[in-house]
A and B are shown apart, each in its own frame.
Chain A
Amino acid sequence: MKKLIISIVLVNLLAACASEPKKEEAAPAPAPKAEAPKQAPVAKTEVDPLNDPASILAKRSTYYPFDVAVVQDEDKPAVQAHAKYLSEHANRKVRLEGNCDERGSNEYNLGLGQRRADGVNKMLALGGARADQLESVSYGEEKPRCTDHNEACWKQNRRTDLNYAK
């Protein structure tokens, strides 16, 4: 099996090598000239959209009602945007960290947080992210953002964080 994969990879590499000169040939001389002035300004503004505070990708957490693990409608556009980003940036990896408020046992919340993380994981996969870009873990109620015993606090703790690897 391993041998087979290696040989397929080799074939692909060979194919890539073989096609490169063709592309160069196909691309006529005027093309680079025309593109050169365009590329410069694009390069200046083309920051990683992940680092753009105005991008929907700046939203890195999904929030939940009590004892619920399904991604809520208001969070779906952001999760779908992250899925698209991951599908276009194969080298990026993201850890999905499920968290809960303290109303449950620590162990039950560990399970609930895992379910929350897995729910986001599934939506990202459906949106085009590859399995090897995604890892879901749970912290249960062990890493609260806020520690008061009230809903204002609890709602901040019921979330899944999308934590991109640096």
Chain B
Amino acid sequence: MVLRVLQGVFGLLLLAQASMAGAVLSIEIIGAGEHQIPVAIVPFGGDEKIAQAINEVVAGDLQRSGLFRLVDPAGKSPHEPAEVSYPDWQVRGAEALAIGTVAAQPNGRIEARFRLLDVVKQMELAGQAVSASEDQIRAIGHRIADLIYEKLTGDKGVFSTRIAYVNRQGKSFRLIVADSDGHNEQVVLAHNEPIMSPAWSPDGSHLAYVSFETGHAVVYVQSLYTNQRVALADFRGSNSAPAWSPDGQQLAVVLTRDGSSQIYLIRPDGSGLRRITFSGAIDTEPNFSPDGQYLLFTSDRGGSAQIYRMPAEGGPAERLTFGEGTNFSPRHSPDGKSFVFAHLNSGGFYVAVQDFQTGQMSLLTEGGWEKKPSFAPNGKLILFASEARGRGILATVSSDGRVKQHMFTQSGDAREPVWGPYP
């Protein structure tokens, strides 16, 4: 990538080692899917402590999705297919059964051998060996949960993906990358000025974000592997709202250097800056369509903040949201058929989705203070910033609005979350 070359030249070493921060305190699940699949997860054989840790992650992931009902193994503990008596599981109402073993390898890595069995058809659905270093036991659990999810729902799982968000505590701001369940936090950047708008590169290797550490909003691009970064846009006024094109070859950014907030394209090495909106209004929060052809963005060119769409290379924009209230922060669904955004009316902020074809808008939340939604890469979940018990928290809602979860981080306010790509 172009970026790698640049890091050596302009790169700034920020945090030599990403520090591990406190884990998520608690997760609350609200609601359930229409058809929950009953699945039994038998704690794996082998090292009991490791097996228990993996089991917790797998069960937690599946439960949070709202699509599964966990069936209690109630004393049965087969670890190999030959040990499985299917009628035992049919009686318990399980449709699927996960079994396996864990063992430490001679090289110190942990390997889990896992099988998913169809209790009704009495056949094996999947079998795989997953290995990871000892400090990545959670990653093994997420991988297994992904396999179960994919086999039983037909959709790819997102438990192994990561999220980025900003934690604000008093005057201190930290840019954080964590597993999709909020665990395994790593601090990417920390200082006492605001940090905003993290954006994942399509390959998950870099984060673009806005930092005020020099006294005004500047867009940076930082490697998550080396922590080195470049100031991508540092013009007069505000530089903000970075969004990557799907091929990673350019970013859309919002600059005020020529007057009001307007959208520009720029390559990840800072070259090729080109203005693409000319409204004199506030044009901001660009988001590329999955095919790279269009940009969604927020603009008040019509008198109030609404969602518009335009060709990614520039051209006439089309207004997409109408009716009462204002709308912000649009993001395409991974299949490109709909978009999610924040809808503000007299009652507050709600997560909304709108279908491109029908133009139909529906609200997915009712809390009243829900901002900055983004789709999981499989399109089945939406991550957003919410508020509970007087704190900013991370929350998700299933794309059908049925299942919600609140993730409480240990301290401070969670803001500006964004779901990362598949690993």
Contact = CB atoms under 8 A, between A and B. Distances in A.
B369 A110 contact: no
Interface stretch (B13-21, B253-261, B375-383): B253-261
Interface string A55-86: 00000000000010000000000000000000
Contacts of B344: 103-104
Interface string A92-127: 000100000001111110111111001000000000
Contacts of A107: 196-197, 240-241, 254, 284-285, 298, 328-329
B174 to A, nearest CB: 14
A66 to B, nearest CB: 11
A54 B348 CA distance: 40
B284 A110 contact: yes
Contacts of B215: 95, 137
A133 to B, nearest CB: 15
A64 to B, nearest CB: 14
Interface in A122-164: 136-140, 142-143, 149
A83 to B, nearest CB: 20
A106 B416 contact: yes
A118 B237 CA distance: 9
By secondary structure, the B interface counts as strand
B403 interface: no
Contacts of A113: 238
B371 interface: yes
B282 interface: yes
A31 B408 CA distance: 76
B342 interface: yes
A115 B369 CA distance: 25
B267 interface: no
A121 to B, nearest CB: 10
Contacts of B196: 106-107, 110, 140, 142
Secondary structure type dominating chain A contacts: mixed
Given A67-B304, A107-B254, A114 B371 contact: no
Contacts of B210: 110
B305 interface: yes
B212 interface: yes
Contacts of B256: 111, 114, 118, 138
Given A111-B238, A149-B369, A105 B261 contact: no
A112 B212 CA distance: 16
Contact of B238 (A67, A105, A137, A149): A137
Nearest to A98: B238
B328 A105 contact: yes
B372 interface: yes
Nearest to B327: A105
A63 to B, nearest CB: 20
B194 A139 contact: yes
Interface string B235-249: 001101100000000
Nearest to B194: A142
B304 A114 contact: no
Given A105-B328, A107-B240, A107-B241, A114 B261 contact: yes
A140 B416 CA distance: 14
A103 B342 CA distance: 11
A118 B369 CA distance: 29
Candidate in B197, B282, B298, B328 with the most chain A CB atoms within 10 angstroms: B282
A118 B238 CA distance: 11
B54 interface: no
Interface string B296-334: 001010001100000000000000000000101100000
B216 interface: yes
A119 B372 CA distance: 28
Contacts of A136: 237
Contacts of A115: 260-261, 282
B94 to A, nearest CB: 44
Interface of B: 194, 196-197, 210, 212, 215-217, 237-238, 240-241, 254, 256, 259-261, 282, 284-285, 298, 300, 304-305, 326, 328-329, 342, 344, 348-349, 369, 371-372, 415-416
Given A104-B344, A106-B197, A138-B237, 17 more contacts: A104-B328, A107-B196, A107-B240, A108-B285, A110-B196, A110-B238, A111-B254, A111-B256, A111-B284, A114-B238, A114-B260, A115-B260, A115-B282, A118-B256, A118-B260, A138-B238, A142-B196
24 contacts: A103-B349, A104-B326, A104-B344, A105-B298, A105-B305, A105-B329, A105-B342, A105-B371, A106-B196, A106-B416, A107-B196, A108-B282, A108-B285, A110-B210, A111-B260, A111-B261, A111-B284, A114-B261, A118-B260, A139-B212, A142-B194, A142-B196, A143-B194, A149-B369
